[in-house]
Amino acid sequence: MTSHLIGYIGAILFSACFISSCTGEGMRDNQLTEKEKKEGWVLLFDGNSTKGWHLYNNAKDSSTWTVKNGELTCGPDIRYIHLDLVSDKEYKNFDLRFDWKINKGGNSGVFINVVERPDIQAAWASGPEYQILEKSHPDYEKPDKRPGGLYGFAEQGDPVDTRPFNEWNESRIRQQDGRVEFYLNGVLTAQRDFHSQGWVDSVGKTYFNNFSEFGRHTSGHIALQDWQKAISFKNIRIRELP
């Protein structure tokens, strides 16, 4: 290959990269593309702060949730308050997407339709959970506790292996009119209709039946689960649906 041809190809590649960066269409952490903005997506994490979030039933105290290198992390430090982190805003019909990574043996989750009241002890007492779990955790192979599944309920979609610990996974939760779908790394992993009698019957057969508000709502806060082993999130974005 001649030096002239090599230079020509290099110029084309440089131009393509330059155009891509100028259009802003390439995915950058904790930023929206112009296309996403037009589609109605909103960032729930700005990459720099916990703005838009607070501790469950505690809007004042600081906690183990910190922001570093564009990641929202719940660390293992026991010197600080360990509580779930809750969105300031409530959502009903939405498409939520987020990336996460977890330490070895870690266990966490994302709750939806969370009711925040002083008489409800934690986010999990009202909000169904999108399960996050690392491969070496002893619950990993249990059908009702698989990652990407609806925690405490038998799988409703395909089981998906997560990526090695401390590598990023992509998740999606879509809810419309009480019908919810969970996805992990692009695969449908669970689906339920929270308005159905089947859902009510399922709850009645679990430990959650002891909590009067669990799974009874189709709108509420989004919550990120605190856990003693570190869990990190980024690219948390949501689009409200009609």
Helix segments in 24-51, DSSP class H: 34-39
Confidence of residue 80 (pLDDT cuts 50, 70, 90): low
Mean pLDDT lowest among 13-17, 69-73, 141-145, 216-220? 13-17
**Cβ(162)–Cβ(133) under 8 Å?**
yes
Confidence of residue 64 (pLDDT cuts 50, 70, 90): confident
Residue 226, H or E segment: none
| DSSP label of 225 | P
Confidence of residue 2 (pLDDT cuts 50, 70, 90): low
Confidence of residue 11 (pLDDT cuts 50, 70, 90): very low
Confidence of residue 81 (pLDDT cuts 50, 70, 90): low
Q: Which domains does the chain have, with CATH numbers?
A: 29-240 (2.60.120.560)
**Cβ(56)–Cβ(122) under 8 Å?**
yes
State the average pLDDT over residues 196-218. 97
- How far apart are alpha carbons 126 and 208 in whole angstroms? 9
Those residues with Cβ within 8 angstroms of residue 127's Cβ, 6 or more apart along the chain or in another chain:
111, 112, 113, 114, 115, 214, 220, 221, 223
pTM equals: 0.87
Confidence of residue 59 (pLDDT cuts 50, 70, 90): confident
| DSSP label of 219 | -
Confidence of residue 21 (pLDDT cuts 50, 70, 90): very low
Phi, psi at 38, each rounded to 5°? -65, -30
